[in-house]
Amino acid sequence: MHRSQKDSPLTRADYGITIQRDICCACNIYSIHNKEGVKNMKENQRTTVTKRMLKEGLLRLLKIKPLDKISIVELCNESGINRTTFYRHYEFPADLLKEMQADFVEEMQNSLKKPMTEKDLTLIIDYLQQNSELVSLFICYNSDTEWTDMFHTLYQNIYGTENLKFFDAESQELFFTFLSGGTYFLLRQWLSKKDHKTSEDITSIILSILNRNILF
């Protein structure tokens, strides 16, 4: 006849068995999660390497032919990546260039300190000049939106709305859109024409225009 749990309290041996069983379960769970973590980490590293190889291959090809003349087969051969792997990440070579621009802009934005100041505009223009060949490719083939959005955010952070009290909210938004678009297309022309003006010259021109219009 079996005694009830109430009549048969767990002994130290029973506790030991229970603890051991719990530890084994915990170890198994940890092992599974750890294996998954290692697997995911390796997969992420593999993806990073694959994308880097594709980007480097695309840049090499863009030196000799326009984007719309670069086939996926050609890009994969140049990069040493098979087509199945390419399609796992992208649909067209243009998608790869868009991602490169987004990463470039994000990296540049992350390097700026908060709150932003006029010095950040100087840093941005200097950075664009240092990477003028790459930026020229972005400007040639990609959308202008990410660039104008970046300058829009920059000007909002620098000037806020205190200097624009004479504008209503909608007019303030339009004004920042005007400033950001003007700055972007000025820089676009400067970089595309290989102007002899330095980044300091361009920054001075932009700030002169901005301060005359905002602080009049």
Give the pLDDT score at 193.
77
| Tokens encoding 87 | 């399609």
- The Cβ of residue 58 has, within 10 Å, a number of other Cβ atoms equal to 20
Q: Are residues 207 and 135 in the same domain?
A: yes
Q: Which of 69, 89, 109 is the last residue of a domain?
A: 89
Q: Which of 35, 55, 89 is the last residue of a domain?
A: 89
Q: Are residues 204 and 103 in the same domain?
A: yes
Q: Are residues 29 and 50 in the same domain?
A: yes
Q: Are residues 57 and 109 in the same domain?
A: no
Give the pLDDT score at 82.
93
User: Which runs of E-coded beta strand occur in the chain?
Assistant: none
- The whole-angstrom separation of Cα 19 and Cα 188 is 68
- The whole-angstrom separation of Cα 142 and Cα 135 is 10
User: Which runs of E-coded beta strand occur in 42-178?
Assistant: none
pLDDT tens per residue, range 134-180: 888 888 887 788 888 888 888 887 776 666 666 777 888 888 888 89
Give the pLDDT score at 137.
86
Q: Are residues 122 and 140 in the same domain?
A: yes
Q: Are residues 111 and 209 in the same domain?
A: yes
| Tokens encoding 4 | 């009830």
- Give residue 107's domain range: 93-214
Q: Which of 38, 57, 89 is the last residue of a domain?
A: 89
Residue 82 CA from chain centroid, whole number: 25
Give the pLDDT score at 40.
59
Q: Does 154 fall in a domain?
A: yes
Q: Which residue has the higher pLDDT, 73 or 151?
A: 73
- The whole-angstrom separation of Cα 152 and Cα 184 is 10
pLDDT tens per residue, range 181-194: 998 998 888 888 76
Share of the chain above pLDDT 70, in %: 71
pLDDT of 91 strictly over 90? yes
Q: Does 114 fall in a domain?
A: yes
Q: Does 192 fall in a domain?
A: yes
Q: Does 3 fall in a domain?
A: no
Report the phi/psi class of residue 160: left, alpha or beta, with left for phi > 0 and alpha for psi in -120 to 50. Answer: left
Residue 37 CA from chain centroid, whole number: 24
What are the φ and ψ backbone dihedral angles of 9, each rounded to 5 degrees? Answer: -65, 150
Q: Are residues 144 and 198 in the same domain?
A: yes
pTM: 0.67
Q: Does 5 fall in a domain?
A: no
How many domains are there within the chain?
2
Residue pair 28/70 in contact (Cβ under 8 Å)? The answer is no
Q: Are residues 134 and 197 in the same domain?
A: yes
Q: Are residues 38 and 132 in the same domain?
A: no
Q: Are residues 155 and 209 in the same domain?
A: yes
Q: Does 4 fall in a domain?
A: no
Q: Are residues 148 and 64 in the same domain?
A: no
Q: Are residues 49 and 16 in the same domain?
A: yes
